[in-house]
Amino acid sequence: MIDFHCHLDLFPSPSEAIDEIERSGIYALSVTTTPKAFPKTAMLAHRRKRIRTALGLHPQLAHERHGEVGMFVRLLGETDYVGEIGLDGGDEFAEHLAVQKDVLDRILRACSDVGGRIMSIHSRHASAEVLDALGRHPGSGVPVLHWFSGPPAHAERAVEMGAWFSVGLPMLRSRRAAALVARLPRDRVLTETDAPFASTVGSQYPTPALKEALARLAGLWGTDDATTWRCLNNNLRTLTGTVKATYAAAR
Ligand SMILES: [Zn+2]
């Protein structure tokens, strides 16, 4: 199974979560919320073949952590993955949208400068603004829109721009969100948990939520679990392969 957006460093016991990921053979993208958290979080996944660590600066923290953009740029050479980055236009964070946009633009510019990255992107109540920012930095890499909750027209625009989507159980349980997922191209979809913020019951890594997400995706697509898994697995290979090809020259 694939968990393309989880916060391993924020579990009460990251090592237990990682052991469970290993045991279940899950491919995981471990995202971070601040550049400062990256080195330690990357160490957690040291020698774990199926876990990659992404360098992030969460939009909900941008107004407090914009001083860490320089550190972000310095660390960017250490990973092929960026996240969690993006914009959050929800009521509690809308007042900070200007600083969020500035941070995101600087991050996307830095990604372009190093030839592009695979980017896990938050776009809550700000999907149009996120797509505008990606449009300003077409060389920044491949965006993977995590828990996308924008309108269908924005999803279509994102697909046209080459974006991917990571979808989790809360999305697939919502009738409206599931209808949107059903319309996405199957070769641009991955699964995620966003654990421990979502999908989790208690403090354990939520393997059952990932299984259920896969089964629900199979239901939406009218395929069986094995076929769905093969599709997701191929997608992951394509995504990682494409970006390697794109920025191999820049390294
Ligand atoms: Zn997240």
Catalogue the long-range contacts made by 102-106 (C-beta closer than 8 Å, 24 or more residues apart).
102/66, 103/57, 103/59, 103/62, 103/66, 103/69, 104/59, 104/62, 104/130, 104/133, 105/133, 105/136, 105/137, 106/69, 106/73
Looking at residues 38-47, what average pLDDT do you find?
95
| Ligand 1 centroid from CA 7, angstroms | 6
Task: Assign residue 176 the CATH number of its domain.
Answer: 3.20.20.140
Residue span of the structural domain in which 100 resides:
2-250
Give the other-Cβ count within 10 Å of 10's Cβ.
17
**Rounded distance between C-alpha atoms, residue 144 and residue 49, angstroms:** 21
Contacts of 202 (CB under 8 A, 6+ apart): none
Give the other-Cβ count within 10 Å of 174's Cβ.
13
Give the other-Cβ count within 10 Å of 240's Cβ.
16
Is the Cβ–Cβ distance between 242 and 119 less than 8 Å?
Answer: no
The answer, yes or no, to whether residue 251 has pLDDT greater than 60, is: no
205-240: pLDDT as tens digits: 999 999 999 999 999 999 999 999 999 999 999 999
Identify the band that residue 249 occupies on the pLDDT scale cut at 50, 70 and 90: very low
What is residue 250's predicted lDDT score, i.e. its pLDDT? 47
| Ligand 1 centroid from CA 224, angstroms | 28
Looking at residues 48-65, what average pLDDT do you find?
96
80-136: pLDDT as tens digits: 999 999 999 999 999 999 999 999 999 999 999 999 999 999 999 999 999 999 999
% of the chain beyond a pLDDT of 70? 96
What is residue 244's predicted lDDT score, i.e. its pLDDT? 62
| Ligand 1 centroid from CA 84, angstroms | 6
CA-based torsion, 220, 223, 226, 230: positive or negative: negative
Hunting for tokens 């550190």 — which residue is that?
A: 71
144-180: pLDDT as tens digits: 999 999 999 999 999 999 999 999 999 999 999 999 9
Identify the band that residue 246 occupies on the pLDDT scale cut at 50, 70 and 90: low
**Rounded distance between C-alpha atoms, residue 32 and residue 53, angstroms:** 8
Identify the band that residue 243 occupies on the pLDDT scale cut at 50, 70 and 90: low
* 222 phi-psi bin (left φ>0, alpha ψ -120 to 50, beta other): left
Number of domains in the chain: 1
| Ligand 1 centroid from CA 30, angstroms | 9
Looking at residues 48-68, what average pLDDT do you find?
96
Looking at residues 50-65, what average pLDDT do you find?
97
* 56 phi-psi bin (left φ>0, alpha ψ -120 to 50, beta other): beta
Write out the residues surrounding ion ligand 1, Cβ under 5 A.
84, 194
Residue 90 amino acid letter? G
Identify the band that residue 200 occupies on the pLDDT scale cut at 50, 70 and 90: confident
| Ligand 1 centroid from CA 11, angstroms | 12
Identify the band that residue 26 occupies on the pLDDT scale cut at 50, 70 and 90: very high
What is residue 67's predicted lDDT score, i.e. its pLDDT? 96
